[in-house]
Structure formats: structure tokens, C-alpha cells
Amino acid sequence: MKIVTVVAPVNIAVIKYWGKRDEELILPINDSISGTLSTDFMCAKTTILASPSIKENVFWLNGELQSFDNKRLQNCLKEVRRRANPELPILKWNITICSKNNFPTAAGLASSAAGYACLVAALADLYEIKGDITSIARVGSGSACRSLYGGWVQWSKGVDPKGEDSIAHQIAPVSHWPEMRVIILVVNDERKKYSSTVGMKKSVETSELLRYRAQTIVPKRVEAIKEAILNKDFEMFSEITMRDSDQFHAICLDTFPPCVYMNDISHAIADTVHHYNEKKSSRKVAYTFDAGPNACLYILESEVEEFLSVINYVFPSSNKSDYVRGIKTNINPIEEELKLSFASKQLKADTLKFIIHTKIGDGPKILRDEKHHLLNNEGLPKKSMM
């Protein structure tokens, strides 16, 4: 028997991946860049057990039995086994996979990226694979390749038709910009109406704006935001991040029929960010929205306490004890000048479900202690998983 457990992070793109030039290999039409979030507060966790006594391959996700014939899972498993030493006895054994997320799944919070990065990292350890594995994670979920590195990560679209050069690499480690924080505003934690896979396929087929963005806009933005990250230039970083998010959602509207991911609350969050930046006479907060209504805000540590107080005022909650999760932060009453400025923007209580305050973090971690395993020695989920 052999068992391995891995936790892997979410990544939040500042230059978006939207659209494939090859659906089968998951090759993107443009480069993308993201920040990797700490696994302390948002992560996927996967345990894989291999044993000659397991009669069939089994896959559990968030406590529910799934089909093992999932095409993307099979693609990842096939490629890992292809790279493994053919003399490994474990190659002949069946496996049980058990995975869970500690955050909403399929709600536009990059759950598939964390999940497939976790799966591939665990499989690579199980089958003793060395070298780059981002191209394997890519065939599970495109943006999963970025979650295999910590800090700031670029996924290069590549030019090879087989995808050999469509891999991810680190731009800067987590230690490069330790002041950076991320605030997740959860508007809706339910499964979204249009999956990212369906949405981007429609966009590639119908949006003329998407073609212009991929060919003309993104290459310039990639270079500009890399420079902003390396120079720790938050003003430039925030402008590019918000412009790219806005353009991505404009393309979703240019798709026919449109794919609408943001809602009225999403737009209220964007408006709050712009108004706060105007009051501060500089860009202190940057929003970005993936394919869902939930907001991901990049912000420097020095600004977190005041801005969270503003969010708490504009989007009040009746759940005082569990409204803000993650890194502990004082939520003070909003200053009178800001209160007057944001009074007309205040919404009714419980518009937001909850807030996660986190930071940039490292890539996947292998957990060797058996107490972390999600499976028992018989290959069944532990009671804590059910």
C-alpha cells in the first residue's frame, strides 16, 4: 500500500485566461498571470491510496462518490503514468482518490484550478515523477498549472501544436511582495449558471472582441504587469488588474448569447473600490472578478484595516462572529468623513455571505503525517470527510 496527501492553493488571475485554441489539450489563446493564495485559508486537499487489494478505481469529491471515467481526470492519470518508471509495481495497482475543498466549489473561486493542481501534485508524488508537471495539470484544468507554483505565476500560451511549451513558471516568489493581501468577498457560493468551459467556448466562437484582446491587448498587459510586480508598483498593478477584469467581463457580454457572471452586488463592490480610491487620491485597492459574481481584491497590508471597515459599513452583516474569516483584522467603526461619503452606497444587511482575508502563499505541500489523510487504510473516506 502507498498513500499520499497534498494540499494545493487557489490562484487568482490578474491577466485572465479565457479561450482555448485547442479544446482537447487545453491550450490557451493568450498568456495569463496570477497570484497564488495561501493554503492556510483556501485550499484543495487530496489523498490518493494505491494498493493491490483495491478492486476498482474510486473517486470521492467533497464526500460524494464521482465517476472515475471523468475525461480530464483520466488524461492527468494517463500522462503521469506514462512518465513513471515502467518497472514500478504500483503502476499495476488500482487507486482511490479522495478530494475536498475548504471553500465553495464551482462558484467562480478557482476551485477546479486548486483541485487539479492538488490531484496532479499527489499523483506525481505517488508515481515518483520528477521535472515540470504544469503541462499535466493544464490538461485537467487550464489554470491549474498556475497553482503548482507559489507567489506570482505566468502561464505561457506557447506555440507548439502539441502544447509542449504551454507551461507555467514563477515570476516572483511569495517573499518578493510580502505586503500584498487579498480580500475575497463572497457574493454567492452556489454553482454558477455557465461553467467556465462552456462560457469560454462560446466566447471563442462568437466574440470579435476576444480575438482583438488576445492578439493585441494581452501581450502588452503581460509585460506591463510583470514589470509592476517586480517593481512592487501597486498603482500600475491595480490599474492593469482592474482594466483586465473589466475587459474580460465585457467579452462575456460580447459573447452570443451573453454569459453574465457579475451581478448587481458585484458592480456595487467595483463601485465601492473606485470610490475609495478616489477618496484616497490614489489606487489603494484593485478588484478582479473571475467567471462568477465573487470579488477578489488585491490590497496592501497597510490599507486592509480601514478598507475592511468600509466594506463592513457598505455591506453590513448580521453574522458578526463569522463574517470576516482568515487573517485576523480589527474591524473598527468607519471614520466620519468616509461614513458621509459612503452613506448613499450602503446596502441592506447580509448582501455578502462572508469575507476571506488572506495573502499570497506557496505552491502545493505534501503532508506526510497520517493524521492528514482523508482516507483510511481500507481506502474509504474517514468519518470527518462525510
- Using an 8 Å Cβ cutoff, are 108 and 294 in contact? yes
Is 161 within a domain?
yes
Position 109 pLDDT exceeds 90 = no
Is 274 within a domain?
no
18-63 residue pLDDT tens: 999 999 999 999 999 999 999 999 999 999 999 999 999 999 998 8
Residue 385's pLDDT is 54
Is 249 within a domain?
no
Q: Write down the number of H helices and E strands in the chain.
A: 10, 17
Is 215 within a domain?
no
Which residues, in sequence order, are bridge partners of residue 47?
5, 98
Is 386 within a domain?
yes
The pLDDT > 70 percentage for the chain reads 97
Residue 242's pLDDT is 98
Of the candidates 30, 28, 218, which has an alpha carbon nearest to the alpha carbon of residue 141? 28
Neighbours of 383 (CB within 10 A): 7
Position 123 pLDDT exceeds 60 = yes
User: What is the C-alpha to C-alpha distance for residues 282 and 152, in angstroms, rounded to an integer?
Assistant: 23
270-294 residue pLDDT tens: 999 999 999 999 999 999 999 999 9
Q: Residue 313 is placed in which grid cell?
A: 459599513
Is 98 within a domain?
yes
Residue 14's pLDDT is 98
The pLDDT > 90 percentage for the chain reads 89
Q: What CATH number is associated with residue 71?
A: 3.30.230.10
| pTM of the predicted protein model | 0.94
Is 322 within a domain?
no
Number of domains in the chain: 1
Residue 247's pLDDT is 98
User: What is the C-alpha to C-alpha distance for residues 25 and 140, in angstroms, rounded to an integer?
Assistant: 9
Residue 111's pLDDT is 79
Is the preceding peptide bond at 257 cis, omega within 30 degrees of 0? Answer: yes
User: What is the C-alpha to C-alpha distance for residues 151 and 173, in angstroms, rounded to an integer?
Assistant: 4
Residue 105's pLDDT is 53
Is 63 within a domain?
yes
Of the candidates 6, 100, 13, which has an alpha carbon nearest to the alpha carbon of residue 60? 100
Enumerate the H helices of 231-293 as residue ranges: 234-254, 264-280
**pLDDT confidence band for 106 (50 / 70 / 90):** very low
User: What is the C-alpha to C-alpha distance for residues 293 and 39, in angstroms, rounded to an integer?
Assistant: 22
* 184 contact partners, CB below 8 Å, separation of at least 6: 42, 109, 294, 295, 296, 297, 355, 356, 357, 358
- Using an 8 Å Cβ cutoff, are 295 and 266 in contact? yes
- Using an 8 Å Cβ cutoff, are 381 and 49 in contact? no
197-227: b (≥16 Cβ within 10 Å) or e: bebbebbbeebebbeebbeebbeebbebbbe
Position 386 pLDDT exceeds 50 = no
User: What is the C-alpha to C-alpha distance for residues 59 and 67, in angstroms, rounded to an integer?
Assistant: 7
Residue 195's pLDDT is 85
* 246 contact partners, CB below 8 Å, separation of at least 6: none
User: What is the C-alpha to C-alpha distance for residues 87 and 346, in angstroms, rounded to an integer?
Assistant: 64
Higher pLDDT, 98 or 105: 98
Domain encompassing residue 160: 1-173+366-386
Which range (19-23, 83-87, 104-108, 362-366) has the least confidence? Answer: 104-108
134-175 residue pLDDT tens: 999 999 999 999 999 999 999 999 999 999 999 999 999 999
**pLDDT confidence band for 193 (50 / 70 / 90):** confident
305-353 residue pLDDT tens: 999 999 999 999 998 888 999 999 988 899 999 999 999 999 999 999 9
Q: Residue 102 is placed in which grid cell?
A: 475548504
